[in-house]
Amino acid sequence: MKKVITYGTYDLLHYGHVNLLQRAKELGDYLIVALSTDEFNWAEKQKKCYFPYEERKRLLEAIRYVDLVIPENAWAQKISDVKEFKVDTFVIGDDWEGKFDFLKEYCEVVYLPRTPEISTTQIKEDLKK
Ligand code: C2G
């Protein structure tokens, strides 16, 4: 079984996220999403999520491409996640291009093109108009 892992906040779930998850799943048979916790988002990404972790987790678990959702509590957990879950491929959007190349020692690393025209930030801004 080829296992794939990806990481993210996935707040205000939108089709850009689903595009990523669909292509991530096409890279293997089993897709793990490490979902940023509310605390990690605020402390490390200064992101205040609209939906709390448990709701973001439930939304991801409802997506057919997602097999398992685990918490992302720290930047440094990726290597231990790859080892613990015997991951073959790490994948993330190309807004992170090159940032996780250190994982190449442990698994394949793939950066996929983002869906350009949509983002959670853009949605929030558009709703303010
Ligand atoms: N994404 C995308 N297209 C968009 C928006 C997002 O392909 N229009 C992808 C991102 O590249 C990422 C995933 O969807 O792979 C989740 O995006 P975010 O929730 O913004 O994730 P981020 O805050 O970048 O967290 O340790 C890594 C971080 O947790 C990544």
| Residues pairing with 92 in the sheet | 111
Q: Of the residues 2, 3, 25, 47, which is catalytic?
A: 47
Q: Of the residues 2, 45, 99, 104, which is catalytic?
A: 45
Cα 97 from Cα 111, distance rounded (Å) = 6
pTM of the model: 0.96
pLDDT number for residue 47:
87
Find the helix or strand (DSSP H, E) in which 30 lies. strand 30-36
Cα 99 from Cα 27, distance rounded (Å) = 20
Mean pLDDT of the chain: 96
Secondary structure (3-state) at 20? helix
Give the residue whose CA is nearest to atom 17 of ligand 1: 8
Here the tokens at position 124 are 């929030």
For ligand 1, residues with CB inside 6 Å are 6-10, 16-17, 19-20, 36, 45, 72, 92-93, 95, 114-115, 118-119
pLDDT digits (tens, 9 = 90+) for 99-129: 999 999 999 999 999 999 999 889 989 999 9
Pair 34, 6: CB distance under 8 Å: yes
Position 30 pLDDT exceeds 90 = yes
pLDDT number for residue 1:
94
Which of 12, 20, 100 best tests ligand 1's pocket when mutated (most atoms within 8 Å of CB)?
Answer: 20
Sequence-distant (≥ 6) Cβ neighbours of residue 13 within 8 angstroms: 56, 59, 60
Atom of ligand 1 nearest to the CA of 36: 29
**Percentage of the residues of the chain whose pLDDT score is greater than 70:** 100
Here the tokens at position 56 are 């973001």
**Percentage of the residues of the chain whose pLDDT score is greater than 90:** 95
DSSP for 56-96?
Answer: HHHHHHTSTT--EEEEE--GGGHHHHHHHTT-SEEEEEGGG
Strands 30-36 and 68-72: parallel
Give the residue whose CA is nearest to atom 7 of ligand 1: 114
